[in-house]
Amino acid sequence: MSGIWVCIEAGNGELRGVAYEMITAARTLADAAGQQVSALVWGEGAKDNADKLGACGADSVVVIETAGDEAGRPAEVGGAVALLAQEQSPSVVLFADGAFARSVAPALAQKLNAAYVGDVVDVAFDGAPVFTRLPYSGKVIEQVRPASGAATAIATIRPKAFEAAEPQEGRTAGVSTFAATPEAAARVLCDVIRSVSERVDLSEADIVVSGGRGVKGAEGFKVLEELADVLGAAVGASRPAIDEGWIDAQYQVGQTGKTVAPSLYIACGISGSIQHMAGISASKYIVAINKDPEAEIFAQADYGIVADLFEAVPLLTQQLRDMLQA
């Protein structure tokens, strides 16, 4: 299943138009490179639409079965795609540009040591994939190709940039299934954790677990403290949590609090205000957990999980504990 992959989300029993537009982009690359197109599809109605993807140009279809609800799906799907990609080594993986792709694609590129390019409007193949972008509000035409050392390129496709692929009579594709697991999402995060040490001062910590308004109260910080204990991390907070009196002011991170520079910063229920981001911009890796897919923090996070923190954090705590003790 190597070749060109198209990652597609189904919703309400249907596929969005951009799914067929991505098939067009994938076929352009595959036909020029002599490769196959594989469609990876998940969500409500994924199985029912598998045959449509084959008719429109996919050579094979993998239905990713998720166990969680919609909020937790990016973590499950991201982990599943990462595992499949490690096994199959696709040359190109395409996502539809948007909140879902921004929460999954950069983390996938990091995991695979792959090239990453966003908001692509055209593709070509000239010995290697060539992606065209229109930065600066379309005032510049930019063509990007992966560095020679990158075996895989991850790209997000701008909706409406390509013509939608049309079904071809008699064309079919083989369909298989792959079960996504919460453990896969935790495994992705485990790769950025190098060591565990005793809890240290916030300003000196190598790992920081912070909470914001989404923690909802002092009791919510106990969930974060359990994760911090597993990682040997310090606990921090954004200003709204401090103002609400949920945690002492000494834990405030941001422009009006402490500036931190850990190897790993895990932001739970934090929206990503300018003031808070100013205090964490020196972090090597930022992981954001927020149930709002449009939260500003996802634009600057290296890893994003769209999920309720009260479900995601205990799961990560247990899975990381098991993996770090293995």
What pLDDT is attached to residue 30? 96
The average confidence (pLDDT) of the chain is: 87
CA dihedral 87, 129, 56, 19 (to 10 degrees): 80
- Position 277 scores a pLDDT of 94
Amino acid at 63: V
The list of the chain residues with pLDDT below 50 reads 184-185, 188, 192-199
What pLDDT shows up at residue 189? 55
DSSP output for 29-64: HHHHHT--EEEEEEETTTGGGHHHHHHTT-SEEEEE
From CA 174, how far away is CA 54, in angstroms rounded?
8
Q: What is the pLDDT of residue 184?
A: 45
Q: Which domains does the chain have, with CATH numbers?
A: 4-182 (3.40.50.620), 192-325 (3.40.50.1220)
pLDDT on residue 103: 83
pTM more than 0.75:
no
Question: How far is it, in rounded angstroms, from Cα 281 to Cα 290?
Answer: 18
pLDDT at 44: 85
CA distances from 322 to 128, 186, 316, 317 (A): 41, 10, 10, 9
